[in-house]
Amino acid sequence: MQNKLFAKSACIKGLDLQSLTGVSSCKVEFVTAQTLLTIIMSPLLLLFSVLFSTTAELAYGAVSPTRINNDGRTFAPGEIIWQDEFDYLDRSKWSNEINFNGGGNGEFQIYDDYGENAYVRDGILYMRPTLSVETVFGGDTEKLYNGNLTLEGCTDENGCTRQANYPNINQPAVSQRLRTKGAFSFRYGHIVVRARMPSGDWTWPAIWMLPEDWKYGSWPASGEIDIVESRGNRNLVDPNGVNIGSEQMGSTLHYGPRWPYNGQWAAHGQTNTAANQGFDRDFHIYEVIWNTDMIQFIVDGTVTKTVQPPAGGFFELGQFPGNEISNPWVNGTNPKMAPFDENFHFILNVAVGGAYFPNDSTPPPPWKGSSSPFLSFFENRSAWFPTWSAENAAMAVDYIRVYAA
């Protein structure tokens, strides 16, 4: 693990404070009273000018400081405003989502707070899925197939009670989904994440963001920022022979005036590693630069996608039919960047299965065409479960840092 770096600011708007104190040499001269007054006042006038200029810029919008929602602080560009180095799992920063529904993509996991699914060791956060028949049901397959399960601490307003009825069994996997909602969110900034993706068939890791307040309405109207998503299969290819498993990662913005409109096609970037390397083999640096004009995704120093909407904002970028649906962002705080002009919070999770895995891949998903996908997936476990090899199947996060934009 690399030594961790911490950032601090030591200047005021480009003015070196040291230049206002002392001189490198002295020389005695006789001057008029007016000249003497000028000499005395000049440094004070310069300082006043700089401070007044900074205040004016903040007041009139020439500077767009990052804002934190919980106490309204502002920060100078480049100043670090939030970070987690994962020396421990800080529950003042992260809370669990506990539910059956995952992200609404037909995934196969229960999200709960079992310690084996998320923990910190040696400054790294590990998040990995396990079989629910072992972690949740104590090895009792009958409870998986026909049991009733109520999740304590449920965060889903639709409820967390499920009655299985074979072949419609309970979710065959359990994992964790952590979020900073209510603890930290921000608008505009430079995000830097160092992480390693998991290696494990049909796992779906993600480091991403959702809006804190859903100002513009339900998904996707208020937006979604996907910093990095991947698939855990080492050997998964599309019909063109391109590896879409752990050798590929994607970054995406989701936005649209209402479901099912989604302009992600105009805001998606992806990249592949060299063959037989993969984002699961080592740590990589994922960055997002988010300001009042654009959102840019960077992987290991290489830009993978820059999303800079035109004058008509994301409504124009997504080419939504204005004659059929109205623009929900026209009166936004920053109409060009809306819905990405409000506060967003972080989410970390490892999902299992679901719609992120295309049916035309090789090999195809083991639940393809099944009327009982949970059961089909579980009964195929002899093929995929051996790839879930302890911490190799974990998404490992070294740090997340946010700098003011």
DSSP notation for 364-396: PPTTTT-SSHHHHHHHTHHHHGGG--GGGGSEE
Residue-level pLDDT at 21: 35
pLDDT at 367 over 60: yes
pLDDT at 63 over 80: no
Residue-level pLDDT at 72: 74
What are the tens digits of pLDDT across the range 200-242?
A: 999 999 999 999 999 999 999 999 999 999 999 999 999 999 9
Poorest-pLDDT segment among 48-52, 259-263, 353-357: 48-52
Residue-level pLDDT at 66: 60
Residue-level pLDDT at 139: 98
- Average of pLDDT values for 72-87? 91
3-class DSSP state of 403: strand
Secondary structure letter of residue 169 according to DSSP:
P
Poorest-pLDDT segment among 1-5, 140-144, 261-265: 1-5
pLDDT at 70 over 80: no
Residue-level pLDDT at 101: 85
Poorest-pLDDT segment among 30-44, 262-276, 296-310, 361-375: 30-44
Contacts of 318-324 spanning 24+ positions with Cβ under 8 A = 318/255, 318/256, 318/261, 318/262, 318/263, 318/266, 319/263, 319/266, 320/256, 320/257, 320/261, 320/263
pLDDT at 68 over 80: no
Residue-level pLDDT at 11: 34
- Nearest Cα neighbor of 58 from 48, 66, 68 is 66
Enumerate residues 6+ apart whose C-beta is below 8 A from 352. 107, 108, 109, 129, 172, 173, 175, 202, 203, 204
**In the structure encoding, which two tokens stand for residue 244, read together?**
């879409």
Average pLDDT, the chain: 87
**What is the Cα–Cα distance from 332 to 343, expressed in whole angstroms?**
13
- Average of pLDDT values for 80-98? 97
**pTM of the entire predicted model:** 0.84
Beta strands in 222-262 (DSSP E): 224-230, 248-254
Confidence of residue 157 (pLDDT cuts 50, 70, 90): confident
**What is the Cα–Cα distance from 315 to 332, expressed in whole angstroms?**
12
- Average of pLDDT values for 59-83? 68
What are the tens digits of pLDDT across the range 103-142?
A: 889 999 999 999 999 999 999 999 999 999 999 999 999 9
